[in-house]
Amino acid sequence: MRNLFKSLRALGPTAVALALLASSHAAQAANPLELNFWLSGPRYDGRVAECERALSTIAYQFREKEGKFWNSALTITGFGRIQETAFRPWQSDNIPRRFCSGDVMLSDGKMRSVHYSIIEDGGFAGFGQGVEWCVTGLDRNWAYSPGCRAARP
C-alpha cells in the first residue's frame, strides 16, 4: 500500500498542472479593433478592361523603363495583332485578369512580341486596373523569364 501512495504523490503536481491548463479560458483581444470585424476578403467584380485599353500604358512604361534603367532611347512606335489569349474571372484563388498578346514595332525598326495582363484592382495601392507586360527579347532584368513566359497565362 505504501508504494501506491508514493506513485499518487508523484502524479499530483502533474495532475494539478493538467487540470489548470484544461480549465483556462481562451485569450481575449486587447481592444475591439483587433477583432478584424470588417475584414471580409476581396470583392472583385470581374470587370476587366479590353486589351486595347492598356496599350498607351505599356508604351509609356516601356519608354520610362528603357530610359531610366537601361539608358536607352528605345520606344514603342506601334502595336499590331492585339488579341486576348485568356480571361480569368474572379474565383476564390485568383484576382480577375485578362491576358493579351500582340506585336510591337520599336524605334529601332524591329518587330517584337508583347505579352501583358490587365488586372482588376492591380493599380497603385489597389486602386484602378493595373498592367503587367513583357516585350520578348527585352526582359533585361529577367522578371518574366524565360522569353516572357511568366507574363502569359
- 82 and 123 belong to one structural domain: yes
Could you tell me the CA-to-CA distances from 128 to 16, 17, 29, 88, 122 in Å, in that order? 59, 56, 34, 17, 6
Within-domain flag for 40: no
* 27-39 burial: b if 16+ Cβ within 10 Å, else e: eeeeeeeeeeeee
- Give pLDDT tens digits along the chain (153 positions): 556 556 556 666 776 666 666 665 665 655 666 665 555 666 777 889 999 999 999 999 999 999 999 999 999 999 999 999 999 876 767 889 999 999 999 999 999 999 999 998 787 776 778 999 999 999 998 999 899 999 999
Q: Is the pTM of this model over 0.85?
A: no
- 16 and 76 belong to one structural domain: no
Within-domain flag for 58: yes
Within-domain flag for 57: yes
Could you tell me the CA-to-CA distances from 117 to 9, 29, 76, 78 in Å, in that order? 70, 41, 18, 18
- 100 and 55 belong to one structural domain: yes
- 129 and 93 belong to one structural domain: yes
- 22 and 88 belong to one structural domain: no
Number of domain units in the chain = 2
- 76 and 25 belong to one structural domain: no
Within-domain flag for 42: no
- 78 and 104 belong to one structural domain: yes
Q: Which amino acid is at 59?
A: A
Within-domain flag for 45: no
Within-domain flag for 62: yes
Within-domain flag for 44: no
Contact 90, 44 (CB under 8 A): yes
- 143 and 74 belong to one structural domain: yes
- C-alpha span between 150 and 133 (Å, rounded): 10
- 86 and 144 belong to one structural domain: yes
Q: What is the pLDDT of residue 58?
A: 98
Q: Which domain holds residue 74?
A: 51-151
Q: What is the pLDDT of residue 4?
A: 56
